[in-house]
Structure 1
């Protein structure tokens, strides 16, 4: 039963999160808000809604390991799987304007997470720091995007998510109602069932958050990455992954930490944080040298993701049994 409830919870998060985004975009469009602003705010935050709801629900239940694991695991998944798997079929170019800046910022934010976790807790002050950086990031990107538009550069491909936004007021209202009601329900189902599965498997809650829950909440990004690769839109594919990683740390952990402080489990400081940082740094040479992620790189990344999953569960068993990591 926990497995069925987990699948149901994740499916509810994905579907209702998507409806909430489209409903919010529909409202914003009817209010005359520019598509660029919508893309940088409503769509960006909305696509992170599943991770946010799960993290808050887990933190309120006292499962900080699941809360942080969901974010860290999603960031690892976004690079190794969301970029690696589509690259098995079509090469992903890394030549887009602003990608170097965003990749550098992703690495900086990952380092900051490690630094702020040294004391063993991500507290309210840390949450404010994350949200302050997020505000600066949004403002700067909005300014840069406006400059691109004035220079006549094409940024329409980055706004693909807006195309299916509803225009009818009744449809918008239905989307919003389903999203607002469904997201908390999906988050609760996912959190409770994930904790039950952790108990059944005899692993720490962080292991389930880093793997099953992180993969489930990253499904929208994976679907978007595959779709972008099929349409040869590399900017959407890699921008989606890098942008999601930045938002996961700054918005999800930032908002969650403001509500309830998060206790950092030992495995994050010993292993998972460093895997996340190493992968982010590993992407930098590809981006800065304007290379492509091809079949060979995609295969290596996908295999690395599977190996990571195996190691995480081994560590999860050690933590559950009270054994030292190693």
Structure 2
């Protein structure tokens, strides 16, 4: 168990480090290639910040454990809303930008609903993945067009910080991309190996490991970004980053996973976890639509709900009840 825990910690550290290096290098290359700051923020940064989730999910799929990846997507989306928004709002009251619910929030909700429909439809194959990726591409292009028409030329929040920290010349940019990629690959292997061993030793499923340990680990970059933004009194921008991350998780990561290997949602995910994700999405959308600020009271509620969610994942009585409900 000690060795497995060290593998998990080492894997998480490499994922965080590799993701940060890749982000800086990719942004540097994009700028050297002449891409606009806005396009870099909408595409390169969005892709790079989700690389830990993507690499872990693909690696799990290639190793014949795609359910870890599916659980990772669901767990990450839940953590993004309940844990990260809650943590950021505890530091500083958040005032979500007006209009966020109409475009990006609506896309996040639609992607979540599409995921649930397909989850009950059966096995997902490469055509489903291709459609998801095409929809993601359409969203990114649409976002770019809208921002250009509104007169926005500079990215905000995480994208702006990534541009400031990006290298200015080719050699460091390429080196960061290569180094970050290696860190992500090795980190994902260590994380999966350690997580699977821990799952076997404590008697929990791959889905639970994906929903909790792996999802929390791959969400650490978003959590760190949100906390730093809140400390700098820019907590509002974290909402946009979280919504974008959730959209990318569903359309991008599940899309790639379906291209790599067919997969389906397990009964335990369909009975409980996927509905928690939908409820968290609906809760955030209701707050955004109301135009109300997210204060510490709401933040405490978010964190408490996330804590309960994690607790029931490892509660044997709850697991037995779920198995009885699905006839296992």
**TM-score, scaled to structure 1:** 0.94
Query: Structure 1 residues 216 and 83 mapped into 2: Cα distance closer, same or farther (>3 Å)?
Result: same
8 Å Cα contact 1:58-1:67 kept in structure 2: yes
Bigger mean CA deviation after superposition, 55-64 or 230-239 = 230-239
**Shift of the alpha carbon at 1:168?**
3.0
More displaced 10-residue stretch of structure 1: 132-141 or 166-175:
166-175
Alpha-carbon offset, residue 179 of structure 1: 1.5
State the distance in 1 between where 2:68 and 2:156 align. 36
Match of 1:166 in 2: 167
Residue 141 of structure 2 is matched in structure 1 by 139
Higher mean alpha-carbon deviation, 253-262 vs 176-185, is at 176-185
Unaligned runs of 5+ in 1: none
- Mapped to 1, the partners of 2:260 and 2:64 lie a distance apart of 12
The residue number in structure 1 matching 2:295 is 294
* Alignment check: 8 A CA contact 2:101 2:285 kept: no
Pairwise CA RMSD of aligned residues?
2.0
Name the SS for the 2:194 alignment partner. helix
Q: CA deviation at 1:99?
A: 4.1
The SS at the match of 1:122 is: coil
Deviations 1:160-197 (A, max 9, x none): 22210011333212212212222111111111111111
- The 8 Å contact of residues 267 and 315 in structure 1, kept in 2 or not, is answered as no
What is the SS of the residue equivalent to 1:312?
helix
Unpaired segments ≥5 residues, structure 2: none
Cα distance change on mapping 1:37 and 1:155 into 2, 3 Å: closer
What is the deviation of 1:32? 1.3
* 3-state DSSP of counterpart to 2:150: helix
TM-fit CA distance, 1:155: 4.6
**1:24-58 Cα distance to aligned partner (Å, 9 max, x none):** 11111111111111111111001000000110111
Q: Could you list the per-position Cα deviations for residues 198-219 of structure 1 after superposition, in whole angstroms to 9, with x for gaps in the alignment?
A: 0011000110110011001000
Distance 1:9 1:155 in 2: 31
The 5 Å alignment of 1:48-67 reads 48-67=50-69
In 1: Cα distance, 2:249 partner to 2:95 partner? 23
Whether the 8 Å contact between 1:36 and 1:159 is mirrored in structure 2 is: no
Shift of 1:156: 4.0
Deviations 1:140-163 (A, max 9, x none): 10001112226x8x7544522221
Measure, in 1, the Cα distance between the counterparts of 2:70 and 2:156. 34
Aligned 8 A contact 1:127 1:257 in 2 = yes
Counterpart residue number, 1:217: 218
Corresponding residue of 1:270: 271
Deviating more after overlay: 263-272 vs 245-254: 263-272
Q: State how far apart, in whole Å, the 1-side matches of 2:45 and 2:323 are.
A: 43
Match of 2:324 in 1: 324
Counterparts of 1:285 and 1:180, CA distance in 2: 38
Find the aligned partners of 1:325 and 1:159 in 2 and give their Cα distance.
Answer: 48
Distance 1:121 1:313, change over 3 A: farther
Equivalences for 1:137-286 in 2 at 5 Å?
137-149=139-151, 155-157=155-157, 159-286=160-287
Shift of 1:94: 1.4
Q: How much has 1:115 moved relative to structure 2?
A: 0.5
Q: Distance in 2 between matches of 1:91 and 1:149?
A: 28
CA distance in 1, matches of 2:151, 2:18: 32
- Given that 2:75 and 2:215 are in contact with CA atoms closer than 8 Å, whether structure 1 keeps it comes out as yes
